[in-house]
Amino acid sequence: MLFEDPVIASRFLTLLTLSFHIIYATIGVGVPLMIMIAQWIGIRKNDEHYILMARRWARGFVVTVAVGVVTGTVIGLQLSLLWPNFMELAGQIIALPLFMEVFAFFFEAIFLGIYLYTWDRFEDQRKHFFLLIPVALGAGMSALFITIVNSFMNTPQGFDIMDGQIVNANPIAAMFNPAMPTKVSHVLATAYMTVAFMLAAIAAYNLIKGSKHVYHKKALHLTMKVGLIFAIAAAIIGDFSGKYLAEYQPEKLAAAEWHFETEEGAPLLLYGVLDENNEVKGAIKIPYALSILAFSVPTSEVIGLNEFPVEETPPLIVHYYFDLMITIGVFMIVLSLVFWIGIKRGWAFVKATWYRWLIVLGGPLSFLAIEAGWWMTEVGRQPWILRGIMTVEEAATSSDYVGLISILFIALYIILGIGTVVVLRRIFKDNPVEKELKASQGGENA
Stretch 185-224 residues interacting with another protein (CB under 8 A): none
Binding test (CB under 8 A) with another protein, winner from 53, 89, 269, 379: 89
Closest approach of another protein to the CB of residue 35, in Å: 15
Binding test (CB under 8 A) with another protein, winner from 2, 16, 43, 171: 171
One-letter amino acid identity for 333?
A: I
Stretch 281-340 residues interacting with another protein (CB under 8 A): none
- Give CA–CA dist 440/118, Å, rounded: 16
Q: Which is nearer to another protein, 137 or 270 (CB)?
A: 137
Q: Does 59 bind another protein (CB under 8 A)?
A: yes
What is the residue-wise DSSP string for 2-43?
Answer: TTT-HHHHHHHHHHHHHHHHHHHHHHHHHHHHHHHHHHHHHH
Q: Does 342 bind another protein (CB under 8 A)?
A: no
Q: Which is nearer to another protein, 93 or 189 (CB)?
A: 93
Closest approach of another protein to the CB of residue 161, in Å: 13
Q: Which is nearer to another protein, 137 or 317 (CB)?
A: 137
The span of 182-190, 240-248, 413-421, 437-445 binding another protein (CB under 8 A) equals 413-421
Do residues 203 and 243 touch, judged by C-beta distance below 8 A?
Answer: no
- Give CA–CA dist 102/47, Å, rounded: 36
State the binding string over 420-439 for another protein (x if CB under 8 A, else -): --xx--xx------------
Q: Does 8 bind another protein (CB under 8 A)?
A: no
The span of 107-115, 190-198, 247-255, 329-337 binding another protein (CB under 8 A) equals 107-115
The span of 197-205, 218-226, 370-378, 407-415 binding another protein (CB under 8 A) equals 407-415
Closest approach of another protein to the CB of residue 145, in Å: 10
- Give CA–CA dist 262/294, Å, rounded: 13
CA dihedral 370, 360, 416, 395 (to 10 degrees): -10
Q: Which is nearer to another protein, 82 or 433 (CB)?
A: 82
- Give CA–CA dist 12/19, Å, rounded: 10
The span of 352-360, 370-378, 415-423, 438-446 binding another protein (CB under 8 A) equals 415-423
Q: Does 93 bind another protein (CB under 8 A)?
A: yes
- Give CA–CA dist 385/134, Å, rounded: 33
Closest approach of another protein to the CB of residue 85, in Å: 6
Closest approach of another protein to the CB of residue 352, in Å: 35
Closest approach of another protein to the CB of residue 122, in Å: 6
Three-state SS at 146: helix
Q: Does 133 bind another protein (CB under 8 A)?
A: no
Q: Does 20 bind another protein (CB under 8 A)?
A: no
Closest approach of another protein to the CB of residue 383, in Å: 21
What is the residue-wise DSSP string for 76-141?
Answer: HHHHHHH-HHHHHHHHHHHHHHHHHHHHHHHHHHHHHHHHHT-TTT-SSHHHHHHHHHHHHHHHHH
What is the residue-wise DSSP string for 225-250?
Answer: HHHHHHHHHHHHHHHHHHHHHHHH-H
One-letter amino acid identity for 295?
A: F
Binding test (CB under 8 A) with another protein, winner from 69, 229, 274, 337: 69
Q: Does 410 bind another protein (CB under 8 A)?
A: no
The span of 88-96, 196-204, 250-258, 436-444 binding another protein (CB under 8 A) equals 88-96
Q: Which is nearer to another protein, 239 or 436 (CB)?
A: 436
Q: Which residues pair with 268 in a beta bridge?
A: 286
- Give CA–CA dist 255/257, Å, rounded: 5
Q: Does 399 bind another protein (CB under 8 A)?
A: yes
Q: Does 250 bind another protein (CB under 8 A)?
A: no
* CA 238 distance to own-chain centroid: 13
Own/partner pairs, 288-291, CB within 8 angstroms, 24+ separation: 290/257, 290/259, 290/266, 291/264, 291/265, 291/266
For another protein, how many residues bind (rule: CB under 8 A)? 77
Closest approach of another protein to the CB of residue 80, in Å: 4
- Give CA–CA dist 246/303, Å, rounded: 8
Q: Does 15 bind another protein (CB under 8 A)?
A: no
Longest Cα–Cα distance in the chain = 76
- Give CA–CA dist 300/242, Å, rounded: 14
Q: Does 16 bind another protein (CB under 8 A)?
A: no
Stretch 141-170 residues interacting with another protein (CB under 8 A): 166, 169-170
Q: Does 114 bind another protein (CB under 8 A)?
A: yes
Cis-peptide into 383, omega within 30 deg: yes
- Phi and psi at residue 237, in whole multiples of 5°? -65, -35
Q: Does 43 bind another protein (CB under 8 A)?
A: no
Residues 6+ apart with CB under 8 A from 334: none
